Amino acid sequence: MESNVRVRFAPSPTGPLHIGGVRTALYNYLFAKKYNGTFVLRIEDTDQTRYVANAEQYIIDALEWCNIPFDEGPGKNEKFGPYRQSERKELYKEYADKLIETGWAYYCFDSTEALDAERKAHEAEGKTFIYNWHNRAQGRLVNSLVLTDEEVQNKINAGENYVIRFKTPQDQLLRMEDEIRGNIRIDTNTLDDKILFKGDGMPTYHLANIVDDHLMEITHVIRGEEWLPSMPLHVLLYKAFGWDAPKFAHLPLILKPVGKGKLSKRDGDKLGFPVFPLEYTNEVSGDVSRGYKEDGYFSDAFINMLAFLGWNPGTEQELFNLEGLIEAFELKRVSKSGAKFSPDKAKWFNQQYMQTKSDDELTDLYLPLLAEKGITKDKEFVLKVVSSIKERATFVNDFWDLSSFFFETPTEYDAKASKKNWKEGTAELMQELITVISSNKDLSSENTEKEIKEWITAKEIGFGKVMQPLRLSLVGKLAGPHLFDIIAMIGKNETIKRLENAIEKL
């Protein structure tokens, strides 16, 4: 692999960044870093009608949270700047004019009404209207292929609306190579003459994309499958300019968890999971879309999950830190077929990463949640709580449900568990147990367990008759970590208080 690898992520600022876009950014980043290359962010804002003011900053914030920041882009190492296409529009007209001069493009003055009439006429005959070699010079369409140079200039001088179309070669078999999909062959007669430059003075994606990739010295174009139909035009544009084309790699779609088709925000809304990395507020409607960060996902777990949506390392290993992903990533191991998104698998990744986090790090995340509930405890105590519950948690937000009894005395008891485990004679047993605990001078987990088990054995009763009501008294339900760890942490007085409350209420 050449040492000057340069890749780009080129989103349109038309709204929040979908996880499909984040995955494209991730694969570009992994590829660049694997070969000590450069990861470029370019904002493709040629479609001004759909431009959203806060979308660009959202994209940058999302890449930062994912820990895949760009090396070059708006406001950062602007070696080939500017990196917003709206700030480069004069440049594109220059290149569009070059294609006109060399015969690879032509002016079109057709009105919207005239083109609609052509489409309807073709439909009436059971045909599809395509603006290309079939009809571009037949006389019905108004373009510089049938007008004289003087007529063209007069129309331009008169301010008539026009577009510039690419003149697709006729009767050619175009041979292309995709790094993921292999050899691709296209008959140029099936292609239409795409618009390269619009009447509003802005280029279309196709022209701007090619010019920018060339001028920014992009070596590999790694993008979504939806751009695969554009590959023939882009390869032909490189040929028309006399430039070497980059290598292309088209990534598979991320599919719905249920049913067929591409994953969308609607799927997330319906099934209850986010499709954006960060929470996003629509400035116009005020609608708030959920984000993985705000839903409690760790950024490294989110990235690990995304990496496996369309790629695998060829081994059974699933958990990779970012450095491991960089080392393992290869385009040849990216799948051609779509990858079905699984909300449960996303949670699984987060749960796995939960276990790799230090108790200290998780405690620092839990303390603010406790503060919001008005609970103040020293960090050492909370750290012990976190250590005892984290194996059963998927998110830090789960900690409260798993540990509230460490901080608050239960006031309610699980009805089903109470009916099954609090029977005639249970209150008397718990009263005796209070005496055992009261006389115990060493309330460590190990000693308390020893004392209580010896007492149960001496009474010749089943352990369940004591342990289940004891847990119910301390926790309010049959859940929680090791019972004697709970006693050691909440202390003798609180343990006795909870047993007395249970005796009174149950």
User: Letter for the amino acid at 205?
Assistant: Y
Sign of CA dihedral 498, 500, 501, 502: positive
Which backbone phi and psi does 113 adopt, to 5 degrees?
A: -65, -40
What stretches of 230-356 show up as alpha helix (H) in DSSP?
231-241, 265-271, 299-307, 322-328, 343-356
CB contact set of 395 (below 8 Å; sequence gap of 6+): 295, 296, 297, 350, 354
With contact defined as beta carbons under 8 Å apart, do 216 and 210 qualify?
A: no
With contact defined as beta carbons under 8 Å apart, do 63 and 41 qualify?
A: yes
Q: Helix crossing, 399-407 with 359-372: angle to 10°?
A: 70
CB contact set of 306 (below 8 Å; sequence gap of 6+): 19, 22, 23, 26
The token pair that represents 3 in the structure block: 């040492």
Q: Is 89 annotated as a binding residue?
A: no
CB contact set of 420 (below 8 Å; sequence gap of 6+): none
With contact defined as beta carbons under 8 Å apart, do 413 and 477 qualify?
A: yes
Closest CA to 15 of 59, 48, 46: 59
> What distance in Å separates the CA atoms of residue 114 and residue 108, rounded to the nearest whole number?
12
Q: Which residues sit opposite 20 in a β-bridge?
A: none
CB 258: neighbour CB atoms within 10 A?
Answer: 10
Q: Which residues are catalytic?
A: 265
> What distance in Å separates the CA atoms of residue 188 and residue 133, rounded to the nearest whole number?
10
> What distance in Å separates the CA atoms of residue 93 and residue 326, rounded to the nearest whole number?
39
| Binding-site residues | 265
| Binding-site residues for ATP | 265
